[in-house]
Amino acid sequence: MLLENRLTYLQRLQDAARNGYAYFVTGEVDLAKWPAMESKFDGLYNISMPKSTRAKRRKSGEAVCLLYGYQSNFNLGMARVAWTLVVTEGKGRVHGREQLKLLKVDRITVAGYELVHDGVSWSWKMTTARVRYWRERISSIAALQPERRRLAKTSSGDQH
């Protein structure tokens, strides 16, 4: 499912983690190739089945999958789709065909944020690199003379 923005993408991944989708694989593809990839995953793993069918299959011990993507405009030139396939535990060809990562071990990272479990719930936090970037940015702006601070704030393109 191609989502309208990054925030919705992050919310859906967080919901999936909360609902027991313990494995994932992620990547990026050209926007023009997204429909074919989505169709391929649907043919292989039935990613578009109704929620009730997914629940029945999970209950019977089968692995079920969801595919989420959003158009990322950070690569100038070509429109790209960042995507994540999330998978539950259970029997299914997806576990043999894909190089799945375990969500509690390998974190999903999106645009400087990572999905973490704090022992109670799933949430997003800034990566160490993103925190470092903002600390350096704040320090460099604070070191400027007051009249130059305004120019530094407006000229920054937040791509991190």
DSSP designation for 27: E
Residues 6+ apart with CB under 8 A from 73: 79, 80
Per-residue pLDDT tens for 35-46?
A: 999 999 999 999
Q: How confident is the model at residue 132 (pLDDT cuts 50, 70, 90)?
A: very high
Domain boundaries, the chain: 2-126, 127-160
pLDDT, tens only, 109-129:
998 899 999 888 999 999 999
Helices (H), the chain: 6-18, 34-45, 51-59, 94-97, 128-142, 146-155
For 37, other C-beta atoms within 10 Å of its C-beta total 17
Q: Which residue has the tokens 């160490």?
A: 128
pLDDT at 156: 53
Banded model confidence at residue 16, pLDDT cuts 50, 70, 90: very high
Computed on alpha carbons and rounded to an integer, the radius of gyration of the chain in Å comes to: 19
